[in-house]
Chain A
Amino acid sequence: MFSIIGKTNIDFVGSRKISFVISALLVALGIVAVVSIWTGKANLGIDFAGGVMVTGYFNQPVSIEDVRGAVNSEFTDAQITELKDFEKPNAFIIKTARPETEAEGKVNFDRLNEIISERFAGNNFTHVSEHIIGPAVGETLRKDTQKAVMLSLIGILIYIWIRFDFRSGIAATITTFHDVLAVLGIVYILGWEFNLLVVSALLTLAGYTLTNTVVVYDRVRENLKRYRTKGEFAKTVNTSVNDVLSRSINTSLTVLLVVGTLYFLGGEVLKGFAFALILGAIIGTFSSLFIASPLVVEWENRRPKRFK
């Protein structure tokens, strides 16, 4: 038998004060991120914010400063990134800020083309992708996604409530929120772009966190039946967390193997997505061990009611 870790007896529940503080910081960061997304200050991808994005390459070498100079003369808040691992050299992504009206997107797009062909006459800029997105589209997408996330959280709350108890349902929902906010916060601080792929990553990690949490709760339920000693609730919970520890670590490792490869080899487009998933795998494991169960213990300590 080959094991990374043997039988452990780590005091997850006892160290909950420290983990709650860390979590509170992460959640606070996440809330800042959410607020800045709402107010449009965060680095939103054009699929959510609207705007114009052109990816292309020049025939002859061009420095990024030159492109920036040309584009920023008219679009002051445009972002220009060099696409380094693209099959052609001199490839750039040019992104302009959100348009005010729907028709403006197309106008900006045409103007952008004009500027580039004027400024770099004789050096053709071949487009490989073009995106024009109006301001309303992103909003619909955002609202739909929000609604869907709310519905799934309510569904999970009810399911865990039925399968376990109400407190576990709440705690699992809080843990899920916690993870999503924490990842959002870190993505925000590091300046990654929020686009649809990052949202997919957040949804993926929400599912992943829930699985982790359910695994721990299942073990708690089982162990409570076995060691039904009064007043030993916290201890039983801690034993349960230790019981599933090697599973949690193994599963996280396999997930990290996949998303890690995606991060290093998946190319520019998938980098943000893979990064959010790496964070998700780490934070999801952390929270299922240090947050989900200690939360229930904390609740039980304040208002004792035997965990079913």
Chain B
Amino acid sequence: MNLKNWRVWLTIIMIVVAVIAFWDTFKIWTMTPEEKATLEESDPGEMVKLEQSAIRLGLDLQGGIHVVLRVKMEELEPAAREDAVDRAIQIIRNRVDGLGVTEPQIQKQGNDRIIVDLPGYTDANRAEELIGQTALLEFKLMETPENANLVLARIDSAVIKYLDAEKTKKEGKPAESDTTAKKETNEKDSTDILSELMGQSDADSADPFAFDETVNLNENENPFTSRLDPIMFNNRTGANWPGFQVSKTEKPLLERWLNLPEVQQQIPIDAQFAWSTRSVVSNQREVYQLYLLKRKVQFLGKFLEGIGTSTDQYGAPVVNFSLSGDGAALFGQLTGSNIDKPLAITLDEKVESAPFINSKIRNNGQITMGGSATFEDARNLEIVLKAGALPAPVEIIEKNVVGATLGADSIRKGFISSLIGLALVLVFIAIYYRISGIIADVGLIFNIFFLLAVLAGLGATLTMPGIAGIILTIGISVDSNILIFERIREELRTGKSVRAAIDAGYDRAFITIFDSHVTTLITAGALFLLGSGPVKGFAVTLFWGVTISLYTAYVITKQIFDIRKAYKTLSI
């Protein structure tokens, strides 16, 4: 295999890899808002996947919220300061998860700072409310399995009515083929779930609380319940308490149904549905737990004292707490009359843990974590309990809210003008250097395409300074070709043959191109190492743009020239 062939193959491989890396970004950028909404509705999991593998746009481009919070340490007891920031982060994370932001980022900065980034989310008031509120840690009892079954049956019929109404509304419209296609995929889904359900109920057939009708559940008659996977929790006595699991991909749909007014009406006033804060992996699927709780608050987190983690006699992680005074009396009463029932611990209306009450607890309590729980799980619960017992007050010290309209306005203008600028450059080079100029243009287009592919592959975030980096890349890429072509012209003037002039032009220009690329890379590297925030974004695009430019402007354009072995004349 000779060297030239080897390079051609490398180029082909690069193109293929770049197309794959850029594909999702391309799909999402060419989608209309309506198409996005439709996909979000029909397949939220796919939408999340797309968004994650596409180039993300920074707050300045797509709109969003960036908030820096300070934990008010001065308002806390010295003992409570230690992991105050972790507690606050835990609470904020819980709340932000409910907003449906694709890539929320919550980070600790320094000793008392928290950075919260919510790209794409622009409801500043709601976000501030959520982030700034003090945490509410509550203890609630669960509805009995019998009641839960009743409520679920009522929800099923309400959802059926809702779906029928929707269907009639849709059938009035011409988009018929669309709905049938959707139905087909749904049917396929429901058979999958059914088989899993049957497997599950076989194993638990001896259970007194198991749903008798489980086997007959189907999507048409039980649209809601058929999407729940029952699981059994065993308490101390070996008796079972049923729970429901919902796969991560189905959760948004069920949440939407639960929020419908006609479904809300079916839930008794003294009961409420609550999701688990975190998902767990069960049967190789990511699932959330759905609980039906009694609405009444039985106990408050503020009574908890001396929270810590340790291990029980079997070495399993446990979380300890103590109580005194009123708290002890209340908790004693609560636990004493509900032995062997689960007690849900909720933070901001989400269930953190639902341990069984094994005995009456007055002064010292211990929560044993489930079978596969790790110390990290115990530590998480500890932080949650502390967050409820010792809320960490925060204040907003920095806030950037870029409205979707302003973001869209600046991205549209920025992108369109960059594209026009690029087009002008392409035309200018083509006029000035004729056919050779068109070859340089091809190199430049490859440069930008590869750069976008790398950014997508890295999961980078594109910001306005990033666009500046791309513009500098265009300049440097074009400059390489101008250097080469001016050299070729010089060589032609000295009377060299066309082939010799091309080779000599590329040869002689190489050292200059290399030097100018390395100096730019040094700048980009320094900015990446030491710069912060947006400057870093500039450095990343510049670094990759320049690295790629060395290949596209030099190697690829040469490959195009080399397609023909001999030239009589050269259009340059």
Contact = CB atoms under 8 A, between A and B. Distances in A.
A144 interface: yes
A36 to B, nearest CB: 22
A243 B509 CA distance: 13
B519 A159 contact: yes
A271 B385 CA distance: 51
A4 to B, nearest CB: 8
Given A128-B405, A207-B523, A211-B519, A258 B538 contact: no
B413 A214 contact: no
Given A152-B526, A210-B519, A277 B471 contact: yes
Name the residue in A133, A159, A207, A251 with the highest tally of chain B Cβ atoms < 10 Å from its Cβ.
A207
Given A132-B397, A197-B464, A265-B413, 4 more contacts: A106-B399, A208-B472, A250-B486, A254-B474
A87 B405 contact: yes
B414 interface: yes
Contacts of B400: 129-133
Contacts of B195: none
Contacts, number: 230
A238 interface: no
Interface of B: 68, 70, 124, 395-403, 405-406, 409-410, 413-414, 416-418, 420-422, 424-425, 428-429, 431-434, 464-465, 468-469, 471-472, 474-476, 478-479, 482-483, 486, 489-490, 508, 511-512, 515-516, 518-520, 522-527, 529-535, 538, 542, 572
Given A197-B464, A277-B471, A151 B526 contact: yes
A55 B400 CA distance: 11
A155 B526 contact: yes
Nearest to B431: A2
A224 to B, nearest CB: 14
9 contacts: A131-B401, A156-B519, A196-B535, A197-B464, A204-B472, A207-B520, A207-B542, A251-B479, A269-B414
A258 B419 CA distance: 9
A148 B465 contact: no
A25 interface: no
A259 interface: yes
Contacts of A244: 486
A280 B124 CA distance: 38
A127 interface: yes
Contact of A200 (B465, B529, B572): B465
A266 B529 CA distance: 30
Contact of B475 (A55, A197, A254): A254
A111 interface: no
B125 to A, nearest CB: 10
B398 to A, nearest CB: 5
A254 B417 contact: no
Interface string A98-136: 000011011001000000000000000001111111100
A261 B531 contact: no
Given A102-B397, A262-B471, A148 B417 contact: no
B492 to A, nearest CB: 8
A270 interface: yes
A55 B60 CA distance: 13
A296 interface: no
Given A159-B519, A203-B538, A211-B516, A127 B472 contact: no
A103 B397 contact: yes
Interface in A164-216: 196-197, 199-201, 203-204, 206-208, 210-211, 214-215
Contact of A254 (B402, B413, B478, B511): B478
Q: How large is the interface on A (under 10, 10 to 19, 20 to 34, 35 or more residues)?
A: 35 or more
Interface string A39-82: 00000000000000001000000000000000000000000000
Given A214-B512, A262-B421, A148 B519 contact: no
Contact of A197 (B401, B468, B523, B572): B468
Contacts of A257: 421, 424-425, 428
B436 to A, nearest CB: 10
Contacts of B464: 197, 200, 269-270, 273
A141 interface: yes
A225 B421 CA distance: 39
B520 A218 contact: no
A71 to B, nearest CB: 19
B245 to A, nearest CB: 40
B190 to A, nearest CB: 44
Contact of A215 (B413, B424, B483): B483
Contacts of A89: none
A39 B512 CA distance: 41
Contact of A86 (B402, B409, B483): B409
Contact of A266 (B405, B414, B518, B524): B414
B534 A196 contact: yes
A248 to B, nearest CB: 9
Contact of B399 (A130, A147, A163): A130
Contacts of B395: 103, 106
Nearest to A245: B486
A295 to B, nearest CB: 17
Contacts of A15: none
B519 A203 contact: no
Given A163-B515, A214-B512, A214-B519, A129 B535 contact: no
B413 A152 contact: no
A148 B520 contact: no
Nearest to B415: A266
Given A127-B401, A130-B399, A258-B421, A2 B434 contact: yes
Contact of A155 (B409, B421, B525): B525
A210 B398 contact: no
Contacts of B414: 262, 266-267, 269-270
A255 interface: yes
Nearest to A270: B414
